[in-house]
Structure 1
């Protein structure tokens, strides 16, 4: 962890030097203006580094509002820096390409006016991204077709929730909107595919009280993501069990629907092993399968799809990627995740990746949205 902090801090320092240089190099600011701009950027970068260094070692369960405000402010600053760095890089790439194609003076791209625009645009992006979050979860209905689907499961509706990230940065009102929307749908099954809790469970009694209102005819099923293991996973998982959720850690729930059998299996996130918890065990899951059943796997990580396909599952539901969440990561996510969002076919198995019902970090989405998925099973 110490090495990671050193690398992360060093990377942020390099980015700060690059951005400061590119924003002041060609401008006609006075030395006072240049110094003020560099000092402003230094304050922003220091706030991000300092706050995260503090919260990385924070183990105090006391709920103090000032800490939440500090964290939320730092996350907003992080978003501002993200957009600012992206715009500076895009400007530099455009200037470089323009100079190669048509060597002409491009000082206007680096003028004081251009610098002011670059400093202001991130604010607009943050406002837009926050407005998308304030709307709340958006329902996406996804029919998924199978040749081997038992007739009794035709039209079965599964509400899929992933990456809610209950934490001090997620308003309680967001959880209320989510639960109200799910209750309107009246699903047959509700599944949670990890990163639902991203904080100490003791701090979020109100959110858990709201989640307790969820209902589904054939039950509610939950698997942990990587973030649950960062915050005392034993207590977190027990809290979900006390809600009536069936927590599946290398376990399978058998759900009879008429004469058909729906098997809902769940694997923990591979991060579990790093925290001395039970790791994914597909051999154990295969021993629980029954011939002729429709086999659904819940896995936070879509990267486990190859194992699920070999194990003979019909459908895997996952999350984790957030679809990149906001610009430019919503464009770049495909370079880091083979299955970034949406529906995929792997041989006889299908995989659906939810782009996140909540969000991680700053309260914004841009180029994506908070997704509440309704999976509808259909027979070809």
Structure 2
């Protein structure tokens, strides 16, 4: 086993032991139900054992399976609330140690009777919030589809396209799906928007072309009178698996590209097409994945070759870091860019008009929603599916509907 993996396991192991100790003590102090602390410990040990067994026995060539995702999900459900308890009670221990240190010099000992019980009850009460949130996220939240609508005005939009609507979806991640009824609901919700165009911005699978096999008939039901177009995301290249031969990886990549016409989408691979209406047209440009620091297969110049600067342009680019570092200041003027990739990390807090936060904001400047700079827009869709963690907490799956208007 690689040294890095051993160190990671050791750190996780220490964290588990400390968090379990504090949770055990909190339950012992806060409740009169003596068996409760042992029941919680037993369930936790089962979850930890299942996770470590899954990780140690999995074949990297299989990629990130549904089994791994659920093992990781249950690990977070068991661990995160206990980390909350650990932090609160450890803080109280620090205060107590400081007081004892001062009492050594002052001979004054302040009574602590009742404080530990109160803090234990408080810590368990606060820990119940992430516990309930994570449980909701894995069973309900990942299917809590939201339709988010924008109306964008452009002076240079051809008049024929005034009022044209676009449904933007991204990050299907079909390899994570485990509920056909709920996914069908999401597909039907896309169709209910009755948009003129449907645009998909990558990550149709987790890693393997066969992950989409059972879902092709369902996603073939998507309808848009002016066309359906798509690009690739970072997961569509098969880079997150060990392959027996380069030929196997190449065949898988071709299989993933072949999925798109099977569900009625025109795949744009560093190329463009024109959408025409009433004798006028807009340019639709699709680049392969371009991410800051990895997989920069996207070639904006190649994809735009033959497009005129005065054309109205919609760019499909999976990773929003492409817009930040390459697109938004480009003199060629890409009026609207559609991206995905971040998922909003599938965890955060969003209350419209009040707060919008996720750890994703510390990684991506544009991580969810609509952004505008220099008169140019990028929409970062939060994703249709889910990956790694089999749930969503506060950052719900999204269908974006954009209405184009002539300013």
Give the TM-score, by structure 1 length: 0.81
Structure 2 counterparts to residues 334-345 of structure 1, below 5 A: 334-345=361-372
CA-to-partner distance for each residue in 1:27-77, whole Å, 9 max, x for gaps?
A: 7579998787666544433433432444452439xxxxxx85x44541430
Question: In structure 2, how many angstroms separate the alpha carbons of the residues matched to 1:195 and 1:93?
Answer: 42
1:77 equivalenced with 2:96 (yes/no): no
Following superposition of structure 1 onto structure 2, how do residues 30-41 of structure 1 map, counting pairs within 5 Å? 40-41=43-44
TM-superposed CA distance for 1:263, in Å, is 1.2
Query: How many angstroms does 1:365 deviate by?
Result: 2.1
Q: Which residue matches 2:50?
A: 47
Structure 2 segments unaligned to the other structure (5+ residues): 100-109, 242-251, 350-355
In structure 2, relative to structure 1, the CA distance for the partners of 1:26 and 1:362 (3 Å cut) is: closer
Answer whether contact 2:166 2:197 (CA < 8 A) is retained.
yes
Change (3 A) 1:253 1:44: same
Aligned equivalents of 2:111 and 2:170: distance in 1? 50
Structure 1 residue 317: Cα displacement: 0.6
Work out the CA distance in 1 between the residues paired with 2:17 and 2:348: 22
Provide Cα deviations, 1:186-222, integer angstroms capped at 9, x if missing partner: 2111111112212533244221111112121221111
Residue matched to 1:63: none
How many residues are aligned here? 369
Confirm whether residue 224 of structure 1 aligns to residue 232 of structure 2: yes
Q: CA 1:25 to 1:181, structure 2 compared with 1: closer, same or farther past 3 Å?
A: closer
The equivalent residue for 1:333 is 360
Aligned partner of 1:88 in structure 2 is 85
Is this contact kept in 1: 2:16–2:79, CA < 8 A? no
Q: Counterpart of 1:87 in 2: which secondary structure?
A: helix
Specify whether residues 94 and 219 from structure 1 end up closer, same or farther in structure 2 by C-alpha distance, changes over 3 A only: farther
Change (3 A) 1:279 1:34: same
Q: Secondary structure at the match of 2:281?
A: strand
User: Alpha-carbon deviations, 1:297-326, whole Å to 9, x = none?
Assistant: 111111111312214211111111112312
Paired position in structure 2 for 1:23 = 23
Alpha-carbon spacing, 1:343–1:289, altered in 2? closer, same or farther (3 Å): same
Cα deviation code 1:263-308 (max 9, x no counterpart): 1111222369978xx7111221232322432111111111111312
Once residues 84 and 59 of structure 1 are traced to their aligned partners in structure 2, the CA distance between those partners, rounded to angstroms, is 31
Structure having the higher Rg: 2
1:330–1:368 CA contact under 8 A, matched in 2 = no
Aligned residue in 2 for 1:144: 152
Tell whether the 8 Å contact from 2:142 to 2:385 is kept in structure 1 after alignment.
no
Query: Using a 3 Å threshold, how does the CA distance of structure 1 residues 370 and 349 change in structure 2: closer, same or farther?
Result: same
Tell me how far apart the structure 1 counterparts of residues 261 and 232 of structure 2 sit (CA, whole Å).
Answer: 12
Name the CA distance, whole Å, in 1 between partners of 2:262 and 2:139: 34
Equivalences for residues 309-324 of structure 1 within 5 A: 309=328, 310=330, 311-324=332-345
Is the CA contact 1:156–1:188 (under 8 Å) kept in the aligned structure 2?
A: yes
SS in 1 for 2:62: coil
What is the CA distance between 1:24 and its match in structure 2?
4.4
